[in-house]
Amino acid sequence: MLIETTTPAPPQADRNAAIRKVAAELEGLFLDEMLKHAGFGEARESFGGGVGEAQFADMMRREQARHIANAGGIGLAEQLFQQIAGRSNE
């Protein structure tokens, strides 16, 4: 008795949706790092909130980056999608 261990390939639409989701997440991570290095969310010199402010600033920056990516971003997600989808069709 032979048991098949491979799962059937998902339909092309499902695969493309998954690739788009991952590409948008990668763009969000990239934008988060770019915003971090640009100084977005850094504590002000006067009346700084300490450690708590820094933690919430990180979360706010991460969500802002995710929002930018989901709203169309800078085109990185689309480029990643085209490259990954193109390779998976070969």
Closest CA to 57 of 28, 73, 35, 29: 35
**Euclidean distance between CA atoms 90 and 83, whole angstroms:** 11
Structural domain contains residue 71: yes
Mean pLDDT of 25-43: 88
In Å, how far from its chain's centre is CA 21? 8
In Å, how far from its chain's centre is CA 1? 44
Q: What is the pTM of this model?
A: 0.72
Mean pLDDT, the chain, whole residue set: 83
Structural domain contains residue 44: no
- Chain segment 6-31, per-residue pLDDT in tens: 666 668 889 999 999 999 999 999 99
Give 30: exposed, middle or buried? Use CB within 10 Å, 0-12, 13-18, 19+: middle
3-state secondary structure of 74: coil
- For residue 85, pLDDT over 80 is answered with yes
Give the structural domain span for 62. Answer: 32-39+51-90
What pLDDT is attached to residue 5?
Answer: 67
Structural domain contains residue 20: no
What pLDDT band is residue 54 in, cutting at 50, 70 and 90?
A: confident
Structural domain contains residue 56: yes
How many separate domains does the chain show? 1
